[in-house]
Amino acid sequence: MKNKSIIFIIFLVLIVGFATTRCKRKERKPNIILFFSDDAGYADFGFQGNSKYKTPNLDKLAAEGVKFTDGYVTASVCSPSRAGLMTGRYPQRFGHYTNLPGRPDPNVPDSVRGLPLSETTIADLMKQNGYTTGIIGKWHLGTQQHFLPYNRGFDEFFGIPGGGSQYFYPKSLKYLACNYKDITEDTLPYLTDAFGNEAVDFIERHKDEPFFLYLSFNAPHTPLQAPDSLIRLFDAGFRTGVRKKNAAMTTSLDRNIGKVLNKLDELGLTKNTLIVFTNDNGGAMPYNASLNDPLRGTKGTFLEGGIRVPFLMKWPDHIKPGMLYNYPVSTLDLLPTFVAAAGGKLPDDRFYPGVDLIKYLSGEIAGSPHETLFWENVYDKAVRKNNWKLVITPYGKRMLFDLSNDIGETTDLFQLRPDVAADLLSELGKWESKNVDPIWVVDTIWRKHSDRRYNQSIVNGFKRD
């Protein structure tokens, strides 16, 4: 009888322990992974309809989650786009209009050339909600010590403080920084592979706790460099060497995203991980041989080819597989989406224009997440309101497009619809009135450079096949 009692007690302990473990697992906050590519073309992925590019892992991600047809970034160049992403706020609200480092100016020291310290980052908020935070890859929000990721909410940083890097060792080494281990030749294969390997290592080390990982690839940003074995995959697909290299760099990007997805599967973490893939701005034609079809414009413009980007999201049991979402969304929405998924709340000391996208994807909230979206560089600006879009070029030309039937922005309706143009100009003026002056500006040569890219006949001459 005594033995039976002992066995029964052991049985109860095991049952309670099993139930407690299951409860803890169920209550664990979701992991969050943000994949970010750099200067990729809108047309340069399989899930975007490109049959020549090899992106099976991202294609699978698109099939298993939602593809946003009208996904936008907050700027048409790298640094302010990342500033908007990291803060969930329009970068013009805190003076971060253009790329770093900007024009030399004795009144703007290096100590202020970066994401202002007054801003709260996604990483800050995720840490407050119990997450381990890591960034692997490109930062481009200030190279001074106080601007670096490990002083902006990230527990770990392995990557590029500035805007770019060579891809092969030893030249890539001089661009890299790391706050948790030494960087040696052994850790530096082809740079995109190095970032993928580091991401897998990060996940392995933090698999037992909720983590936020920002995997910010610099591919396919220039310089165009890829392993010969990958370039040879495209010998029969493209006539120009630069286009082959772009395709090879994108394949490497996709394969390293695949490494991360496979690691999640291996560790049983996939179901409890929210994943996003997007790009920092439009394709940098002609420099990296990208392609933005069917969109007009390139990186550096506020035409669709400069700010509309590939945009995917997956979260099993929260997002239906194979969704196609046709309302405008923005990288402004990622911070509030991530904080809500973590069970947190946004700070109430500043305004966040973004929304929790999960509520819209689930149908909890109907309609469009945004009636209006805005963009401004030092010289050009734009506003989208519903399906109407107003663009003001660097030298003041005003154009109006109806995106409901003209995403290629082929027909300027500014003269034909003065009522719509006046309304959008009013909206833009009200938004601008709340912005602050730029902390730094770019050289005036950039003004001419950007203005040329508003001329689609010039852009068409950049295309490579």
Give 285-318 as a 3 state SS string.
CCCCCCCCCCCCCCCCCCCHHHHECCEEEECCCC
At 16 the pLDDT is 46
Beta bridge partners of 108: none
Segment 140-151, tens digit of pLDDT: 999 999 999 999
Segment 101-134, tens digit of pLDDT: 999 999 999 999 999 999 999 999 999 999 999 9
In angstroms, the Cα distances linking 354 to 65, 155, 357, 406 are 20, 25, 9, 26
At 17 the pLDDT is 52
Rounded distance between C-alpha atoms, residue 8 and residue 28, angstroms: 30
Rounded distance between C-alpha atoms, residue 274 and residue 337, angstroms: 10
Q: Dig out the tokens for 413 from the structure.
A: 């309706």
pLDDT exceeds 80 at position 4: no
Beta bridge partners of 402: 388
389 three-class SS: strand
For residues 323-347, average pLDDT: 98
Gyration radius of the chain over CA positions: 23
Segment 176-210, tens digit of pLDDT: 999 998 898 888 999 999 999 999 999 999 999 99
Segment 59-110, tens digit of pLDDT: 999 999 999 999 999 999 999 999 999 999 999 999 999 999 999 999 999 9
pLDDT exceeds 90 at position 5: no
Closest to 331 (Cα-Cα) out of 401, 256, 386, 277: 277
For residues 267-292, average pLDDT: 98
Buried (b) or exposed (e) across 255-275, using 16+ Cβ within 10 A?
Answer: bbbbbbbebbeeeebbebbbb
At 3 the pLDDT is 52
* Mean of the per-residue pLDDT values of the chain: 94
* Residue 181 C-beta-side C-alpha neighbours within 13 Å: 12
Rounded distance between C-alpha atoms, residue 351 and residue 435, angstroms: 12
| Cβ(258)–Cβ(249) below 8 Å | no
Domain spans, the chain: 29-370
Known catalytic residues are 78, 140
Side chain identity at 134, as an amino acid letter?
A: G
Confidence at 460, pLDDT banded by 50, 70, 90? very high
At 22 the pLDDT is 42
At 160 the pLDDT is 97
Percentage of the chain surpassing pLDDT 90?
A: 90
At 25 the pLDDT is 44
First-residue to last-residue Cα distance in the chain = 83
For residues 171-180, average pLDDT: 95
Superfamily of domain 29-370: Alkaline Phosphatase, subunit A (3.40.720.10)
pLDDT exceeds 90 at position 24: no
Beta bridge partners of 274: 32
For residues 8-20, average pLDDT: 47
Rounded distance between C-alpha atoms, residue 175 and residue 445, angstroms: 26
In angstroms, the Cα distances linking 372 to 42, 389, 391, 407 are 22, 9, 13, 17
In angstroms, the Cα distances linking 310 to 60, 128, 446 are 14, 30, 26
At 185 the pLDDT is 84
At 6 the pLDDT is 52
Considering only residues 215 and 13, tell me which one the structure prediction assigns the higher pLDDT.
Answer: 215
DSSP 127-187: HHTT-EEEEEEE--S--SGGGSGGGTT-SEEEEESSS---SSTTGGGGG-EESSS---GGG
